Structure 1
Amino acid sequence: MACVSRPLRVLIVDDDALVRTGLAMMLDGAEGIAVVGEAADGEEAVALAGTHFPDVVLMDLRMPGVDGVAATRRLRGTPRPPEVVVLTTFDSDDDILRALRAGASGYLLKDTPPPRIAEAVRRAADGEPVLSPRVARRLMDRVAVHAESRRRARTALAALSPREYEVALAVARGLSNAEIAAELLLSVATVKAHVSTVLAKLALDNRTQLALLAHDAGLE
């Protein structure tokens, strides 16, 4: 957390000089915030952070050379890691998740109003996560979709008998009928019968679909 007795030190990282200039002018005019440096790529950002020790880094995502994700990961691994808030035009699920997994504490889009960017800097310095509303909705939608897929898959598998369930999980693990028979102490003919019944009950066409269903249920 940043010391409250001095302005928050901010490093701006963007490969567009006009964007850097605009952000610097806006943030330098915000109460309690001081821009201590500007970098055009991730490599320069890491170097400047080691000199200026910013509290918060506003990080562009896609830049030549070392991109924002790699730079974020490197910054968060330093002895005095700054908070990193991604500020980008890209809001794909992959971009968002890569940045957050690398250690970013915030993800804002460049259409975010200037006062909200300044507020995000303050919140990030206080250890609070900050997300653009659109980004937050995408993450919630992703979680909801995955949760619903898991619920449906588990509901479907719950219709199986205990023995059918064991066979289904064995199929999902990639075992052959002979291997399943040996593991569950059944005949191969009995295993084949169980597999056929499982596929019919679940309205599936093949073993691959069964494996995918188990994956969706989080059981493979």
Structure 2
Amino acid sequence: MPSHEPDSAPIKVLVVDDHPVFRRGVVTLLESEPDIAAIGEVGSVDAALAWLDQARADVVLLDNNLPGGNGIPNMPHLFARQRDLQAVILTICDRDDEFLEAIRFGACGYVLKDASPERLIDSVRNAANHEVRISERMVRDFLKHQEQRNASSRSHFQSAIQVAPRERELLANLCRGYSN
């Protein structure tokens, strides 16, 4: 597994976001780091695919909501262009389903656009080292949502099945291995 060392070549990053001002800000942030080179910026998945046909990147910072196709489901097409490419999703969306989809499709990171600059930089470095890192907030929110779903399912199941106290006692005894 490749590892990025401070004395090695800079991490080459392609930034894919449809908002030019935001994209330029991310590029400026990345360029402020001596071990990172923002070598390309584009506004769509199609432009990213064309760019990857012409040049190499180590990491792609990818928004999901892009014109002409969302970033996450198109990650396999990006990876097909460059086998060792790593992806970090940079998005405004903190929905569990999008987060899970990103991980399922192979993202090394999922960074919300309101994250600190340091968090974004760390995510790029981690991705360059093929390390999957997810923010505590995303994990905590995901687990909380799963707990709520499980509680709701249990409540629905319990209300759907009406068991009399005597039946409950019999079921408990059966579970303990007693016969009638």
TM-score by length of 1: 0.64
* 1:114 match: 117
2:126–2:132 Cα contact (<8 Å) kept: yes
**C-alpha deviation, 1:34, in angstroms:** 0.3
- Residue in structure 2 matching 1:40, options 19, 39, 43: 43
* 2:65 match: 62
Question: What is the correspondence of 1:1-220 to structure 2 with a 5 Å cutoff?
Answer: 1=2, 4=5, 5-145=8-148, 199-201=161-163
Q: Which has the higher contact order (CA 8 A, sep 6+)?
A: 2
**C-alpha deviation, 1:99, in angstroms:** 1.7
Q: Report the secondary structure of 1:9's partner residue.
A: strand
1:42–1:70 Cα contact (<8 Å) kept: no
Q: Report the secondary structure of 1:77's partner residue.
A: helix
**Unaligned regions of 5+ residues in structure 1, if any?**
157-197, 204-220
Query: In structure 2, how many angstroms separate the alpha carbons of the residues matched to 1:200 and 1:70?
Result: 43
2:111–2:135 Cα contact (<8 Å) kept: yes
Q: CA RMSD in A?
A: 2.7
2:63–2:91 Cα contact (<8 Å) kept: yes
Structure with higher helix content: 1
- Number of equivalences: 160
Letter in 1 for 2:65: R
Structure having the higher Rg: 1
Query: In structure 1, how many angstroms separate the alpha carbons of the residues matched to 2:82 and 2:48?
Result: 15
**C-alpha deviation, 1:29, in angstroms:** 0.9
Q: Percent identity?
A: 34
Query: In structure 2, how many angstroms separate the alpha carbons of the residues matched to 1:199 and 1:108?
Result: 42
Letter in 1 for 2:14: L
Q: Report the secondary structure of 2:114's partner residue.
A: coil
In the superposition, relative to structure 1, how do residues 3 and 142 fare at CA in structure 2: closer, same or farther (>3 Å)? Answer: same
**C-alpha deviation, 1:145, in angstroms:** 4.5
Query: In structure 2, how many angstroms separate the alpha carbons of the residues matched to 1:31 and 1:148?
Result: 48
In the superposition, relative to structure 1, how do residues 2 and 141 fare at CA in structure 2: closer, same or farther (>3 Å)? Answer: same
